Amino acid sequence: MDIKHFGILGAGRAGTALARVAAAQGLEVQIASTRTPSAMKYHLAQYATKARAVSAEDVAQGVDLVVLMVPQEELEDVDPKTLAGTILVDATNRWEDEPLPQWFEHGLESGLTSSEVIAARFAGCRVVKALNHISHWDLDADKASRRSAQRALGVASDDAEAAEAVAQLVRKLGFAPVILKNLAAGRMLEPQGPVFNEVLDAEILRRLVGADG
């Protein structure tokens, strides 16, 4: 799969940063939030000028994948049916002081990782954990600094084809992807994990998360 056009659900600082860097790499981006497309007009004119505003119901239409960048406490408002059939990139994080929907709390209490809970909720999607362990400031750094640092980003999924598609997106954004063994291993990318917000090359990241190859 050649990633050319993707959706972002969430138009906050992280979502607009991703939209900017993607546009700089020649990728088409459509972005949605809880606001209507017309209500996002001035917001995007300031923070993501090349992104196209769409409704949350349409964010998965005509794209190669969708990146989920809304706070986990707001996932109750996301209709799983609107994302069914897509590769869904879970770029969310679990913050200890953040209230969660009851179904999310129950999933975590059963021993699942946050991405596994999201995969269960969005059962019609091919879920990949990625783009969550880099700050929006670093994500939006200029291309030269990304290349020179050779920063690596982790990609975790139970679906090998979906993981490779997201790895391709990571490469296009200017980073080196490291594919983890499964979705549960995405726990290593979360805020309490060893690589969260750390600037690491592929070899070091692979060693820290126990990835093969």
pLDDT in tens, 51-81: 999 999 999 999 999 999 999 999 999 999 9
Q: What pLDDT shows up at residue 34?
A: 85
The per-residue pLDDT for range 133-180, each reduced to its tens digit, is 999 999 887 655 555 568 999 999 999 999 999 999 999 999 999 999
The pairing of strands 152-157 and 126-130 is: antiparallel
- Give this prediction's pTM: 0.94
Residue with tokens 């995405």: 186
Listed in sequence order, the residues at least 6 apart from 92 whose beta carbon sits closer than 8 Å to its beta carbon are 68, 69, 70, 71, 72, 75, 114, 118, 132
Q: What pLDDT shows up at residue 2?
A: 85
Listed in sequence order, the residues at least 6 apart from 60 whose beta carbon sits closer than 8 Å to its beta carbon are 7, 66, 82, 83, 85, 86
Q: What pLDDT shows up at residue 1?
A: 79
